[in-house]
């Protein structure tokens, strides 16, 4: 796929590239990554910058004991390597893995650094993305430190239902395995299984063929329960 073909497929990119130096156009390399591709590992040298045109990816930390902590999940249009480069660091601090098939446009780190020096509009958009990631990360880290596992799983399910735009009468079935949920919610497998059992017993979720399912009525109940935990936190503060 060529640079022009990507722009034709994702016209929203034009807002990001409107002031791009013309000589950079021929320096982009377009790659189509299948799901499960590691874009880069943490603590590896970063020599490229990427613009994610399509596809979702996740940002993770992999620890020596094999445990995986998912920091965030990102959707297009997004960037690869911008935090490391803007921080002036040589090595990455996280691992990035594609979740779905992804089209990513790459240029060298040096070309990106030269670009943002000349293009204030693009620098603003990149900085805005970085700020949003830091904002979400701070919010999520606080929740994971101070709220119980029930709240964390309920909050995850509510966000999932909202992304899927659940409607009255519908039931959504999560595709994620228990291992994937453990990574995304960041609670231990043992605690996760216990929390799932408790929510099922309370009628907040169902289990269909081994998968977590949540109906529209259960989604509404989950939202009420989340408000309860927030109120309790306020009372105890």
Please report the domains of the chain, with CATH numbers, ordered by start residue.
3-140 (2.60.120.10), 147-236 (1.10.10.10)
Question: Looking at per-residue confidence, does 74 or 178 come out higher?
Answer: 74
And the tokens for 220? Answer: 């509404």
Q: What residues contact residue 167 under an 8 Å CB cut-off, 6+ apart?
A: 216
Q: What residues contact residue 38 under an 8 Å CB cut-off, 6+ apart?
A: 95, 96, 97
Give residue-wise pLDDT tens across range 115-124. Answer: 999 999 999 9
On the question of a cis peptide bond just before residue 203, with omega within 30 degrees of 0, the verdict is: no
Q: Is the pLDDT of residue 235 over 50?
A: no
pLDDT given at position 140: 58
Q: Is the pLDDT of residue 10 over 70?
A: yes
**CA 69, CA 47: separation in Å to the nearest integer?**
25
Q: Is the pLDDT of residue 62 over 70?
A: yes
Query: Measuring CA to CA, how many Å separate 32 from each of 5, 145, 215?
Result: 12, 37, 35
Quickly state the pLDDT bin for 65 (edges 50, 70, 90).
low
Neighbours of 26 (CB within 10 A): 7
Q: Is the pLDDT of residue 192 over 80?
A: yes
Give residue-wise pLDDT tens across range 195-226. Answer: 999 999 999 999 999 999 999 999 999 998 88
Stretch 165-178: mean pLDDT: 92
For the chain, the average pLDDT equals: 88
**pTM confidence score:** 0.68
Q: What single DSSP character describes residue 65?
A: T
């Amino acid at each position: 796929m060529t640079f022009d073909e990507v722009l034709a497929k994702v016209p929203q990119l034009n807002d990001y590239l409107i002031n791009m130096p013309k000589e950079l156009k021929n320096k982009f390399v377009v790659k189509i990554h299948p799901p499960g591709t590691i874009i880069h590992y943490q603590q590896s040298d970063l020599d490229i910058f990427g613009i994610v045109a399509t596809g979702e990816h996740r940002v993770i930390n992999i620890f020596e004991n094999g445990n995986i902590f998912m920091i965030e999940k990102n959707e297009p249009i997004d960037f690869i390597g911008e935090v490391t480069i803007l921080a002036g660091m040589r090595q990455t601090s996280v691992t990035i893995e594609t979740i779905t098939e992804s089209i990513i446009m790459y240029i060298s780190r040096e070309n990106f650094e030269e670009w943002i020096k000349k293009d204030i509009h693009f620098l603003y958009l990149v900085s805005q993305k970085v700020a949003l990631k830091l904002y979400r990360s701070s919010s999520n880290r606080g929740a994971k430190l101070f709220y119980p596992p029930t709240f964390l799983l309920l909050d995850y399910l509510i966000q999932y239902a909202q992304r899927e735009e659940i409607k009255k009468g519908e039931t959504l079935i999560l595709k994620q395995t228990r291992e994937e949920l453990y990574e995304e919610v960041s609670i231990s497998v043992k605690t996760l299984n216990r929390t799932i059992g408790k929510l099922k017993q309370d009628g907040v979720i169902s289990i269909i063929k081994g998968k977590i399912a949540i109906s529209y009525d259960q989604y509404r109940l989950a939202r009420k329960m989340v408000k309860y935990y927030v109120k309790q936190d306020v009372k105890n503060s």
